[in-house]
Amino acid sequence: MIYHQLALNVPLYPLLTYAYPTTLPAGTRVAVRFRNRLVAAIVWESDIQPEIDLSKIRPIENILSDGWQLPADWRALLSFTARYYHYPLGQAVMAALPKGLRQPKAVPLPKQEHIYSLNALGRIQPAPPARYHKQNALWQRLLAAPATLHQLKTIHTQASQYLKQWQQQNWIEASHIPACGSIPTSLHQLNQQQQQASAEVQTKCGQFAPFLLYGITGSGKTEVYFDIMANIMQQGKQVLFLLPEINLTPQLMQRVRQRFPHTVTTVLHSQTAAGQRTTNYLQAALGQAALVIGTRLAIFTPMPNLGLIVVDEEHDYSFKQESELRYQARDLAVWRARQAACPVVLGSATPSLESWYKTRHGDYQLLQLSERAHSNAQLPQIHLLDIRRLPLDNGISDIIKQKLQTNVARGGLSMVYLNRRGFAPALFCDACGHTFGCPNCSAKLVLHQHAGQLRCHHCDFHQPIPPSCPECGNQDLTAVGQGTQRIEEYLQHLLPSARILRVDRDSTAHRQDWSEIYHTIMRKEVDVLVGTQMLAKGHDFPHLNLVVVLNADNSLYSADFRAPERLFAELMQVSGRAGRADCTGEVWVQTRQPEHKVYQALAAQNYVTFATAELAERQELGMPPFSYMAAIRADAHTMHEAQQLLRQVQQGIEQQHALPANVNVFGPVPMLMARLAGYERAQVFLESKNRRDLHHSISLWQNWLLHLEKSNPHTRWLIDVDPLEM
């Protein structure tokens, strides 16, 4: 018997050993029994010397004959990921696979599409008579250029039948479609800064080189990525293009299709149907697709000819996975680029302070686009409107009302941005002051008027709107504050002739919705957009000329040290939607704290000043990126229980004197949002300037947690390396 170490989906840190009569190559998918269930596993190492009793080792049931193995560089990526994020390797491996490959069933490889052309003999044949016009059209199409079955079927639904006939006559040749066909030239002539940025990256083709493309909103970053991508793909290499969850818009996909019409492109994101995702994953893994576009999970796609990674909107929080395997895809992108010896381009108008800091130290090369790309476009004017002494009507001041009225009358497109969906963020009893909180979370229930519900935005709790106050019986309950639905309703009343469209998670439950919304906007069938985050990033609506920001002040009171950075990025992004083409843009921000540093930097539209000041503050406080952090979290039904487990570990480690001296420990403290979905959440922060020592202490904590978890059966724990949640 030969012994193999296998990765399977179990919450155990060591890999499990199974036996097979012959040596299986690493990366092979197999089926094994675990607790009497047949599950899939990946061979991680072969020919090992087991340290356990040989009689206890179970056999590998069968080999899943995929005709393909998970490659060595992919395995190295997963080994690194599991080690760095202190997560069980088997679970990390399974999390990185699409569902089809997580099951103990062989998966057929995707068929490579064929492209058909007339050969020399075919070309001298007479065309089918013109009266069979569809058949004739097919023939003419093939005479003109090679075509895929898909293309031919759009000419004649029975194309395959004729193709078969003509193939039998030996007039037609079929060949595999190339991953990257011809790439037409761009519609845009790149400006000088764009050209320079693209050229810099191209000179580093074939070697590891990390870049930060810092380009203001509307500066044409996408065109720069496309230019580099075209060049790399024409050399026969593959490109991985990562973008935030929210940015996978129909608009971006349309731009990709336009620019790369003959490139086999595969899309991987959480909404791709499971079967399709497996196919797409394999197309990338087999090198059939030259371009892979996806959200964070696409970072784990095997790509044999990887030649470039792009991370668009690199500052976006959605690159960090906040459950189970808590990885940061942007950071893994840099690791992967090093492994594949290729350039990686991180792009943003408001780079994360981590990435910006790295350009200061020469770790990343900085590329800049300082002007808007469209020849007539200018940055919008940003006005801070102090509302401390202004009367508000549904949260909106007279000045803003007038701005909106005038813009609607002029036929402009306005956007009203607020980061609150629902009707009102809280319901309040005027008589006794009672408010409605979520029983499971430390959060207020949000009023959803149309649905007749109070809903929690953090868990799935909801209840009908109560007719009266449960404390005092008062029937006069007040909706406090504004959500998108309420603003939408109010604007309909204020601007009766305007066509108003609300865009938030409630209005775009399905992907289809987004596509429709986008086309409605582009056809100029909307006068005012009301919406949240979903409207903030990445969109290019050329006629949008007025942006109004409501209720942004809330974020200023957060205790999270990253809150200012996040708010600044969010507001810069929102503002950046205005005035991107021929019309000039105006942005109005209502605030009660116009003197706050975030708003001052926003009004000046100066990322660099903001980043410099923020970094100075972080340095003084020893916060990331000047130190490395990890959070050890515990969740239990009571805060006491949650903190108790963390204290026990802390005491154990103290008694051993095992903690490196340069690692600081803070806590245990409750998380900022202490209660979530029925769990009280506590955490300890480990912080150090030395990454190796930090990871050493995480391992100490981990070992103790594993040791103590049996005596604390009701407490769950997890490790979050480089945490973003506080």
Ligand X SMILES: Nc1ncnc2c1ncn2[C@@H]1O[C@H](COP(=O)(O)OP(=O)(O)OP(=O)(O)O)[C@@H](O)[C@H]1O
Smaller CB separation from ligand X, 246 or 477: 246
Residue 462 makes contact with Zn ion by CB under 5 A: no
The interface partner of residue 564, options being ligand X, Zn ion, none and the CB cut-off 5 to 8 Å by kind, is: none
Quick one: which segment of 295-303, 353-361, 453-461, 505-513 binds Zn ion (CB under 5 A)?
A: 453-461
Instruction: Using CB under 5 A, pick the residue from 438, 501, 521, 634 that binds Zn ion.
Output: 438
Residue 459 makes contact with Zn ion by CB under 5 A: yes
Short-list 576, 603, 578, CA closest to 589: 603
What's the CA gap between 414 and 586, in Å, rounded?
10
What's the CA gap between 325 and 334, in Å, rounded?
18
Residue 458 makes contact with Zn ion by CB under 5 A: yes
The interface partner of residue 349, options being Zn ion, ligand X, none and the CB cut-off 5 to 8 Å by kind, is: ligand X
Closest approach of ligand X to the CB of residue 64, in Å: 42
What's the CA gap between 465 and 499, in Å, rounded?
29
Confirm or deny that 583 is annotated as ligand binding. Answer: no
Smaller CB separation from ligand X, 156 or 577: 577
Quick one: which segment of 4-12, 365-373, 430-438, 582-590 binds Zn ion (CB under 5 A)?
A: 430-438
| Residue 374 vs residues 220, 304, 315, 379: alpha-carbon distances, Å | 8, 37, 24, 11
Residue 453 makes contact with Zn ion by CB under 5 A: no
Closest approach of Zn ion to the CB of residue 9, in Å: 29
Confirm or deny that 342 is annotated as ligand binding. Answer: no
List contacts with ligand X (CB under 6 A): 188-191, 194, 215, 217-223, 349, 373-374, 538, 540, 576, 580
Which helix (H) or strand (E) segment holds residue 209: the answer is strand 209-215
| Residue 146 vs residues 5, 143, 156, 619: alpha-carbon distances, Å | 48, 8, 15, 60
Closest approach of ligand X to the CB of residue 576, in Å: 5
Smaller CB separation from ligand X, 177 or 571: 571
Instruction: Identify the DSSP state of 10.
Output: S
Residue 598 near residue 607 (C-beta atoms within 8 A): no
Quick one: which segment of 170-178, 432-440, 467-475, 504-512 binds Zn ion (CB under 5 A)?
A: 432-440
Closest approach of ligand X to the CB of residue 359, in Å: 18
Confirm or deny that 429 is annotated as ligand binding. Answer: yes
Residue 230 makes contact with Zn ion by CB under 5 A: no
Short-list 239, 342, 344, 343, CA closest to 292: 239
Closest approach of Zn ion to the CB of residue 687, in Å: 30
Residue 440 makes contact with Zn ion by CB under 5 A: yes
The interface partner of residue 461, options being Zn ion, ligand X, none and the CB cut-off 5 to 8 Å by kind, is: Zn ion
Quick one: which segment of 45-53, 127-135, 173-181, 436-444 binds Zn ion (CB under 5 A)?
A: 436-444
Short-list 465, 423, 458, CA closest to 442: 458
Residue 446 makes contact with Zn ion by CB under 5 A: no
Smaller CB separation from ligand X, 581 or 649: 581
The interface partner of residue 217, options being Zn ion, ligand X, none and the CB cut-off 5 to 8 Å by kind, is: ligand X
Confirm or deny that 469 is annotated as ligand binding. Answer: yes
Give CA torsion, residues 589, 591, 593, 595, to 10 deg.
20
Give CA torsion, residues 280, 282, 287, 289, to 10 deg.
-10
Smaller CB separation from ligand X, 8 or 369: 369
Closest approach of ligand X to the CB of residue 313, in Å: 7
Residue 173 near residue 164 (C-beta atoms within 8 A): no
Cβ-proximal residues to 713 (8 Å cutoff; 6+ apart), any chain: none
Confirm or deny that 205 is annotated as ligand binding. Answer: no
Smaller CB separation from ligand X, 193 or 484: 193
Cβ-proximal residues to 680 (8 Å cutoff; 6+ apart), any chain: 635, 636, 637, 638, 639, 641, 642, 670, 674
Alpha carbon 351 to chain centroid, angstroms: 15
Residue 461 makes contact with Zn ion by CB under 5 A: yes
What's the CA gap between 598 and 566, in Å, rounded?
10
State the SS3 of 479-503.
EECCCHHHHHHHHHHHCCCCCEEEE
Contacts 24+ apart (CB under 8 A), 609-618: 610/568, 611/351, 611/353, 611/356, 614/353, 614/564, 614/565, 615/353, 615/356, 615/357, 615/360, 618/353, 618/561
| Binding site residue list for Zn(2+) | 429, 432, 438, 441, 456, 459, 469, 472
Please report, as ranges, the residues that interact with Zn ion according to CB under 5 A: 438, 440-441, 456, 458-459, 461
Annotated binding site: 429, 432, 438, 441, 456, 459, 469, 472
